[in-house]
Amino acid sequence: MSEVILTPAKKMPLNFTLPVLAAAGAFAGIFVGAANGSVLLGLLLGAAVMAALGFVVMSVLPKEQEKPVRIALIVAFALIGFLLGGLPGGVIGALFGWFFGWFAYWVGFGRYRVKLVPYLTAGQVLWHYAFVVIAGSIFVFLITPILVVMPLSFNAEDFFTFTPAMLRFDPEGYSLKHYRDFLTNPEWTNAVKNSLMIAPVATIISVSLGTLAAIGLSQSHVPGKRAIMAILISPMIVPLIISATGMYFFYSKIGIVGTYWGVVLAHAVLGIPFVIITVTATLVGFDRSLTRAAANMGADPVTTFFRVQMPLILPGVISGGLFAFITSFDEVVVVLFIGSAELQTLPWQMFTGLREQISPTILAAATILVGISILLLTTVEILRRRSERLRGLSPG
């Protein structure tokens, strides 16, 4: 097995280091300046401070003093932030000091190339890190609204904004009263109960039908597989409002609108595509010779499925079930059409709270749902890796 040769770190020239650090400082200065009333001033000061920092680190201070220099930067930036914005500003300043202290040495001493192969050109290195920055920016853009909601759920007041006490990190500005309301208010507890009654049953139906459909479509002799697959996964492609309208008119003809089983079947329809996709992906690496060997040994198709095939595709089945459960538990549009006042689910109650009551308990419910989603998605990732190991697609 050939060994990958990495690039050793080396000190970079000032005509490269200082412009890079100045650009990073200018970018950070835009946000600091906007918070203090002058974007242009923040941009210029940020660029000047980082360029000066780079010059001092590269030309004045010895490299052996890196650790105390970085600690001093954290303290200095924290003090500046505290003077500009109080305790929150001090915390943000400390984070800025930690990042820019690391960044100055990372760029100035060429550590950005250490984990890259030496034959990459400057343009390729630039594109590599530009891609990382773009992906990270998209991630921050997507995750920031969630990060804002979570601390707001501990607001001691009935507001959807940060109060002065919260911004000062005053303990009196924080409270668990919205979580107590979520756990004790009958409107919320009944909504959670309904969701827990509907989602598991819808998940079982989705997993059963979706797994069978995926196995059937994986057979080479099935005619029109592409068309059938397109029809089965259409509920996750068609706009949800259209699916909900169609379900309403169809279910009203058979008399199950406003019933428990109507909502369960509607959620099962939405969950089946996720099961089909995950199980189909698992079946791509399935060794068909195992089922033929089981048949040669006298096993019937049902025994072969449960004793040979199911254990190997089980991670994909469970992953699909988790996605189906999340889809049912978080769905609100279809249940507005198919459900009833007695079948209000948690997302429906949250929607009602936003439209009619403006209840901050929604923030607590959203935080709890985010926590549940994180746990379920972590489980999905663990199962995905286990499935790859079982199929020999990744090292054990």
Q: Output b/e per residue, 231-250; b: 16+ Cβ within 10 A.
A: ebbebbeeeeeebbeebbee
The answer on pLDDT for 212 being more than 80 is yes
Phi, psi of 117 (to 5 degrees): -70, 150
Percentage of the chain modeled with pLDDT above 90: 14
The answer on pLDDT for 29 being more than 90 is no
Beta-bridge mates of residue 174:
155
Architecture of domain 185-390: Orthogonal Bundle (1.10)
Which helix or strand (DSSP H or E) is residue 145 part of? helix 122-152
Phi, psi of 174 (to 5 degrees): -120, 145
151-209 pLDDT, tens digit each: 888 888 877 777 888 877 778 888 888 899 888 989 889 999 999 999 999 999 999 99
Domain limits, the chain = 14-119, 185-390
**Alpha-carbon distances, residue 124 vs 13, 111, 116, 121 (angstroms):** 19, 16, 10, 5
Residues with Cβ within 8 Å of residue 165, at least 6 apart in sequence: 156, 172, 173, 174
Closest CA to 73 of 57, 62, 88, 87: 57
Beta-bridge mates of residue 265:
none
Residues with Cβ within 8 Å of residue 90, at least 6 apart in sequence: 78, 79, 81, 82
Query: With contact defined as beta carbons under 8 Å apart, do 51 and 21 qualify?
Result: yes
393 pLDDT band, cuts 50/70/90, is: low
280-297 pLDDT, tens digit each: 888 776 767 777 787 778
The answer on pLDDT for 6 being more than 60 is no
